[in-house]
Amino acid sequence: MLTNFCFKLRPNVTHSIKMSNWLDMLRSTYNWSLADRIAQYNQQFIQGNYCDITTKGEACPLTCFVSKNGASGEPWKDNKSVLDGKLKNPRRSAGDIQITALPELKKRAPWFSEIDSTVLQQNVKRLDTAYKNFFEGRGFPKFKNRSNFTSFTYQMGVKLQGSKIYLPKLGWMRFFNSRSIPNGFTIKAATIRKRQDGWYVSIRIENKSIPDYIPKPLNEVESVLGCDLGITKLVHLSDRHQINNPKFSTNKKAKRTLKIRQRRVSKKAKGSKNRKKAANKLGRFHKKITDKRVAYQWDVANKIVSRKVDAVALEDLNISGMLKRCKVKVDEISGRFLKNGQSRKKGLNRSISDAAWSELILKIEYLAVKQGKVVIKINPKHSSQECRNCGHIDKSNRDGEKFICTQCGYHEHADIGAAKTIRDRCLEIVRGDSAKLAASQQNAQKISPRTPVQTWRVWEPVQTGY
Ligand SMILES: [Zn+2]
């Protein structure tokens, strides 16, 4: 079983200066590698092999690092296993080529040799992951700046002893030993991350003797809890319970503090020390909000999952679609822009982001699998407009929190009704025809590939009386 533990580090001044320098250096190689891959693509696939896009002149194909080493040099991984036919794709990938070039980088720029080698390798592999995400349809890799490049990963050599951690090339460092690592687990990797209030380490640990959690097969599911996510209340459950939404960043007090701190930053001279100080204060406030939200969400997820049901039914929401801006409206005669309702929608968008539904869903999935339960995602179309008595679908059925059917007069709390509808749709799928079952079972096996970082929970979740 693989899992992550997160701790706060206590670096001394030398440590933190060194780590900050590392981040700058790693960011530069990351950006360089990305630019190189883009150049390789341009040279090999757009312009053909013999033209360099930047100089616009005819050039040899060896101007870009990856295509140079891919074309000549060592394009093959291992001759022996290629001959045996063991390797299906013996050609080196762009990532492989860039990793084998790291010693050369250290020769050319000797200050890079102060960084641990596995950190440098993981840095290139990070770009591979970014490309993999891109090919799966999630946006092209971005060039990184100081604000979105804040971490690096060790693959080997990390040791723990009491409340001290050994990081290769950085040395022994103290950390807040807030939870102990259970026996039998070995350290697989460690990621160091800079946040507003200091440095954190997330340790990936593994114990092969403990099997992975297996979600319940769908044909054993008998009872289902339906959840309807919202903003006025965070979750409505089909057993008539409601869970509050504390609106951590959009309540009146937080909004006011954010406004004041933001103004204090923008009033200071650019590049000044005071601006930096003010920005740090603002960042710390943002972090405090995030921490509160994360802690609350673990609590909510635990409440939902530890009910006596076999499965939790959630809405399959398209959150990025909900956050999209309104379409621009232009007056055809004068060419001026008309009101399109975006300024009204802005507040709603902020509330949606503040509720962080996808983070909550991730936590529910994680805890559910841990307790041998299943999370099933349901199409929420018309779930709050459909009458549960006669099936009549109409927008005017719903008036705020009230639901009154215009055809049969059936009335209920709108959101709880929606949660019940979601539960019933889920039960339909579970008990429904075999094709549907097989399709959703395939989805069920894909559940929770990503483990959310768990900071405050104890090792095994305590069963509460909900
Ligand atoms: Zn009705």
Per the domain annotation, does 268 fall within a domain? yes
Residues 84 and 139 placed together within one structural domain of the fold: yes
Residues 17 and 59 placed together within one structural domain of the fold: yes
CA-based Rg of the chain, rounded to a whole angstrom? 27
Per the domain annotation, does 462 fall within a domain? no
Per the domain annotation, does 68 fall within a domain? yes
The last residue of one of the domains, among 206, 239, 265, is 206
The last residue of one of the domains, among 141, 175, 206, is 206
Q: Where would I find the H helices in 76-183?
A: 79-84, 94-100, 102-108, 117-135
Rounded distance, CA 383 to CA 415, Å?
9
Instruction: Report DSSP state, residue 175.
Output: E
Contact 328, 337 (CB under 8 A): yes
- Alpha carbon of 390 to ligand 1 centroid (Å): 4
Residues 334 and 413 placed together within one structural domain of the fold: yes
Q: What is the model's pLDDT at position 379?
A: 85
Q: What is the model's pLDDT at position 123?
A: 94
Q: What is the model's pLDDT at position 132?
A: 93
Per the domain annotation, does 274 fall within a domain? yes
Residues 354 and 382 placed together within one structural domain of the fold: yes
Per the domain annotation, does 350 fall within a domain? yes
Residues 114 and 195 placed together within one structural domain of the fold: yes
Domain count, the chain: 2
CA 314 vs. chain centroid, Å, equals 19
What average pLDDT does the chain have?
A: 83
Q: What is the pLDDT of residues 379-413, one digit of tens each?
A: 888 888 888 888 888 888 888 888 888 888 888 88
Active-site residue among 36, 52, 116, 315?
A: 315
Give the torsion sign (CA, 353, 357, 362, 363): positive
What are the residues facing 206 on neighbouring strands?
Answer: 2, 186
Residues 222 and 303 placed together within one structural domain of the fold: yes
Block mean pLDDT (10 aa), the chain, length 466: 91 95 96 88 65 54 62 54 60 80 88 93 93 91 93 93 93 93 91 93 90 78 89 90 91 94 96 94 94 94 91 86 84 85 86 89 90 86 84 83 84 88 87 57 45 40 37
Residues 229 and 369 placed together within one structural domain of the fold: yes
Rounded distance, CA 349 to CA 323, Å?
6
- Alpha carbon of 409 to ligand 1 centroid (Å): 6
Q: What is the model's pLDDT at position 210?
A: 82
Per the domain annotation, does 414 fall within a domain? yes
- Alpha carbon of 223 to ligand 1 centroid (Å): 25
- Alpha carbon of 397 to ligand 1 centroid (Å): 9
Active site residue 228: yes
Rounded distance, CA 82 to CA 87, Å?
6
Active site residue 415: yes
Active-site residue among 36, 116, 365, 415?
A: 415
The last residue of one of the domains, among 178, 206, 234, is 206
Q: What is the model's pLDDT at position 69?
A: 63
Active-site residue among 228, 354, 365, 386?
A: 228
- Alpha carbon of 244 to ligand 1 centroid (Å): 29
Q: Where would I find the H helices in 43-93?
A: 65-71, 79-84
Residues 18 and 156 placed together within one structural domain of the fold: yes
DSSP 436-464: HHHHHHHHHHT---SPPP--SS-SSPPPP
Residues 285 and 383 placed together within one structural domain of the fold: yes
Percent of the chain topping pLDDT 90: 41
Residues 147 and 262 placed together within one structural domain of the fold: no
Per the domain annotation, does 182 fall within a domain? yes
Q: What is the model's pLDDT at position 406?
A: 85
- Alpha carbon of 411 to ligand 1 centroid (Å): 8
- Alpha carbon of 326 to ligand 1 centroid (Å): 33
Q: What is the pLDDT of residues 345-372, one digit of tens each?
A: 888 888 888 888 989 999 998 899 888 8
Active site residue 291: no
Residues 159 and 253 placed together within one structural domain of the fold: no
Full residue range of the structural domain in which residue 107 is found: 2-206
Q: What is the model's pLDDT at position 461?
A: 37
Q: What is the model's pLDDT at position 434?
A: 47
Per the domain annotation, does 290 fall within a domain? yes
- Alpha carbon of 419 to ligand 1 centroid (Å): 17
Q: What is the model's pLDDT at position 93?
A: 77
Rounded distance, CA 100 to CA 69, Å?
10
CA 144 vs. chain centroid, Å, equals 17
Q: What is the model's pLDDT at position 462?
A: 36
Residues 89 and 128 placed together within one structural domain of the fold: yes
